[in-house]
């Protein structure tokens, strides 16, 4: 059975009556015509599902990701790549031809549907996203700490201590933080690489992603 995903927008067509004991799944698109659909993947298998869909079926897949620079608590700077839509990829196909093959692709758990109908994803929406992410489907983001951000010192004598950003000088890679030392709030200038931003999930990048797409 294909998993029902009631929270993916406003596509809520009527269900299709059961036929021969199984629910008929339709998209409303003429046979053989290409359209975009949303496939649900196994947890943390987005890239695997996308690669298998492309390699095994030869269909077009869109699986956008964000790459950001993060600093670990030990002061190590690393690039982290995260999916924009965890657990989902978009696939362009002729549904009647590829329906069963997509469902049985390794890493895929099914196609998103409502009742007995698989909705298409508007091509204009996908085109806007693809323009933003480019051919590599990865958008590089670099966010410097802003006043009010919570950070943790990742090195020096204050490693592990939490602080509040007061000022930031991106060109110099310097940040002024407010740190409590011996019970007193104390301003301290540190290098950007010594700080770990709090709440470093993909969600925090979405406003910036929207801004990039509007440029």
One domain, residues 58 and 93: yes
Pairwise CA distance, residues 175 & 166, whole Å: 8
One domain, residues 25 and 121: yes
Domain boundary among 112, 141, 170: 141
Largest CA distance in the chain: 75
One domain, residues 22 and 113: yes
- pLDDT per residue as tens, the chain (215 positions): 333 333 333 333 333 333 323 345 666 777 778 999 999 999 999 999 999 999 999 999 999 998 876 666 565 667 788 899 999 999 999 998 999 999 999 999 999 998 888 999 999 989 988 888 878 888 877 667 889 888 888 766 788 888 999 999 888 889 999 998 888 889 999 888 788 777 554 445 455 445 544 44
One domain, residues 137 and 154: no
Pairwise CA distance, residues 29 & 18, whole Å: 19
Domain boundary among 119, 141, 163: 141
Pairwise CA distance, residues 92 & 107, whole Å: 17
Pairwise CA distance, residues 28 & 25, whole Å: 10
One domain, residues 73 and 167: no
Question: pTM to 2 decimals?
Answer: 0.61
One domain, residues 33 and 123: yes
Domain hosting 157: range is 150-207
């Amino acid at each position: 059975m294909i998993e029902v995903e009631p929270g993916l927008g406003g596509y809520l067509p009527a269900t299709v009556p059961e036929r021969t004991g199984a629910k008929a799944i339709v998209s409303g698109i003429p046979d053989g015509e290409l359209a975009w659909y949303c496939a649900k993947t196994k947890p943390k298998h987005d890239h695997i599902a996308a690669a298998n869909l492309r390699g095994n079926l030869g269909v077009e897949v869109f699986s956008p990701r964000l790459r950001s620079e993060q600093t670990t608590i030990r002061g190590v700077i690393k690039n982290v790549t995260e999916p924009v839509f965890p657990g989902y990829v978009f696939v362009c196909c002729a549904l009647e031809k590829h329906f069963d093959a997509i469902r049985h692709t390794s890493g895929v758990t099914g196609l998103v549907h409502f009742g007995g109908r698989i909705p298409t994803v508007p091509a204009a929406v996908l085109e806007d996203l693809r323009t933003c992410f480019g051919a590599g489907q990865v958008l590089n983001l670099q966010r410097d700490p802003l006043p009010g951000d919570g950070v943790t010192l990742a090195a020096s004598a204050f490693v592990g201590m939490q602080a509040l950003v007061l000022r930031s000088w991106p060109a110099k890679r310097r940040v002024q933080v407010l740190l409590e030392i011996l019970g007193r709030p104390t301003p301290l200038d540190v290098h950007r690489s010594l700080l770990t931003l709090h709440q470093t999930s993909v969600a925090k990048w979405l406003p910036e992603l929207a801004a990039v797409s509007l440029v």
